[in-house]
A and B are shown apart, each in its own frame.
Chain A
Amino acid sequence: MTAQPMQGVKVLDLAWVVAGPLIGRSLADYGATVVRIESSRRVETARLMGPFPNGVFDVQQCTLYENTNAGKLGLALDLRRPEAQAVVRDLAAWADIAVESFTPGQMAKWGLDYAVLSAINPSLIMVSTSLMGQSGPYSGFSGYGNHGAAIAGFQNIVGPVGGPPVGPFGPYTDFVAPRFGLVAVLAALDHQRRTGEGCYLDVSQAEAGMQFLAPQIADASVTGRNQACAGNRDVGMTPHGVYRSLGWDNWVAIAARDDAEWAALATLVGGETLAGDPRFTSLEGRKADEDALDALIEAWTSGRPTDDIETALQAVGVPVHRLVATEDFMTDPQLIERGHFVRLDHPLMGQAVVEASHYRMSKTPAEYQRSAPTYGRDNEHVLRDLLGYDDARIATLKEADVLV
């Protein structure tokens, strides 16, 4: 059997919500031992956000939390307590990688900042992921990804043409940042492997988000232009939009990437008359009358079942896809074939469903060892087997009410 790629890599995971924990989730999928620290006395936000079984709020049965923390071991620690901080320092000595996402400065207050932990373990790679980064005048800003999305420029570029902006769904920079955090951590780990040197990585969610706007940033710097809300329009493609299909709240997204795709789409929508209409044969012509084209297309789509529209347009090679609703996502035949849904035993839910790793590797596929930890699920294993604590030490911690 092939070894898992990250087998033997030890991760101390102090992160919470989404951007930080997803780094450890990816490492756990590929064999790393990830010890997640949290306290039931300070409920982590991801546990509060759902979805919940039958919609019933329960911080121990939250799907977002499961999806971001599957595969990890759980150690419950009240980090405000000096005894708990000592355990974290022992874990830092054990670990190759530490991930944390507290407000900048918090780790130092607990005596757990990089200066302290790297003195214990000079080869430790520590990544701090925060909204604004660890330095700079706004480093003390504490907020969520929707604020990160505002500060990174995303809230201003989702909306109808001319605005007002409504912003992207959810804490958008939380979805972007872990991809950069993971790459930085893995590159640092390779460096550590070759040199023995650890390092500190300060990942700003806002800055990670801006990496996804690099072309628009270059544009502003060269031309002074600011990307504005453009509805569903695209500079280089027309038609390009979201159109109603038959039934309530059903929609399809359609794009004609070039003139040939327009001709194919137009033939379906308006026959040879529309396909041959000289006003629309070029992108410039179509741009000149985009509202009218959108109305023509929606007049055609709105009377047709979504299935029929997908079949008809895909048959002629025009990009189309229904807007998948959360109710229907898990029945998408493509996602099912791809093994996108992973079912894990869960002590309270019976079964937790999480999304699969985003990478399908031919030789070392992801393995999903366990559901995300309930509070303190792996206390014994972590303290006894990973840290080598004896009965007396564990008993002392329990009696001191630290393992909660």
Chain B
Amino acid sequence: MRAAGTPARPKSCLADQLLEPAKTILAAAVLALSAAACGASDLASYRVDNDGVATPLTDEPGNPARGRQIVRDMGHVTCLICHRMPIPEEPDHGEIGPSLEGVGSRLTVAQLRLRLIDSKQVNPESVMPSYYRTSGFTRIGAQFEGRPIYSAQQIEDVVAYLALLKDK
């Protein structure tokens, strides 16, 4: 089931809750849920293998130009808050996380996709938000309930952009 588009906001999703322990125990489980089981807001399903998510979340290939726009957009939780990036027209880059210059040389597309979807599956202590997760939060703001930070297509667009950031 591929469910990009505008998510609704279910207060409680039974299938989601049932799968939560499995997610914790088996980080490689198939996580997301069928639209039939859990309403229209569901995340596209994905599979974690070998430190990455190899299969794109959407049928439409990621668009790197759109991805670059997304990571700059202050309306989103922009990468620039915490990371240095090769975006010289933006004056302020954070220094919380590692620089993303050359990240496309260091990580595969599958690895980039997993780190953007849910970096806590790579490092539970990470302070990086999970951009494609809708459960397991404490006191999430009502308007964000059931909505991932990025849509499936935005994940793909940003992954496509990051993959182009090669070492010179």
Chains A and B form a bound pair: no
Chain B residues within 8 Å of A, Cβ to Cβ: none
Chain A residues within 8 Å of B, Cβ to Cβ: none
